[in-house]
Amino acid sequence: MYEFGSQAWLDAFVAAINGSKKYEEAARDWEGDFYFIITPEGSMAERVLYYMDLWHGKCRDAYLVADEGEKEPVFRMTAPLSVWEKVVTKKLDVIQGLLTRQVKLKGNMAMIMRNVKAAQELVECCTHIETEFPE
């Protein structure tokens, strides 16, 4: 069981991404890195930033970021913990979350929309991780 918001969870996510043939195929043309930002709720005291370098169907690098100014990723996706929980547990499609502004995007939305299958397969990878969410 991995705690969402931890480096261990992110490492498991990277392993799932890099082991997924479906993601590799869907994202074969993808070039772009991300900050996935989890805003705190409940017992979660501070926001969490995951940096991920996604490149042609693989994750080349991923780690927790302490200072948001450390990188200048192409995309920043921000949502409260409860929304990320819905995404990870397949109760909310990430594209629907973007369109309804439950997930906020800073970056080229058109590029995301041209790569919907890659986004869906990326989320599919994280749904296979045994995840524990902070209360």
Bridge partners, residue 62, by sequence: 52
Residue 91 inside a domain? The answer is: yes
Cα–chain center distance at 12:
12
Q: What range defines the domain where residue 67 resides?
A: 2-129
Count Cα atoms within 13 angstroms, Cβ side, for 119.
20
| Average pLDDT of span 16-21 | 98
Residue 25 within any structural domain of the chain: yes
The per-residue b/e assignment along 28-38, b for 16 or more CB within 10 angstroms, e otherwise, is eebebbbbbbb
Q: 109: which 2 tokens? A: 């939305």
Q: For residue range 26-58, list pLDDT tens digits in order.
A: 999 999 999 999 999 988 889 999 999 999 999
Q: Which residue has the tokens 């080349």?
A: 60
Q: Is there a contact between 76 and 37 (Cβ–Cβ < 8 Å)?
A: yes
| CATH number of 66's domain | 3.30.1050.10
- Residue 84's nearest CA partner among 46, 119, 39, 116 is 39
- Domain assignment present for 73: yes
Instruction: Count the domains in the chain.
Output: 1
- Whole-Å CA distances, 21 to 48, 115, 121, 125: 28, 16, 10, 10
Confidence bin at 134 (pLDDT 50/70/90):
confident
Q: Please report whether residue 117 resides in a domain.
A: yes
The pLDDT tens digits for 68-119 are: 999 999 999 999 999 999 999 999 999 999 999 999 999 999 999 999 999 9
- 134 in any annotated domain: no
Q: Does a structural domain hold residue 135?
A: no
Q: What angle, rounded to 10 degrees, do the helices at 81-88 and 116-126 form?
A: 90
Residue 61: pLDDT above 90? yes
Q: Which two tokens stand for residue 76?
A: 């920043």
Predicted confidence at residue 128, as pLDDT, reads 92
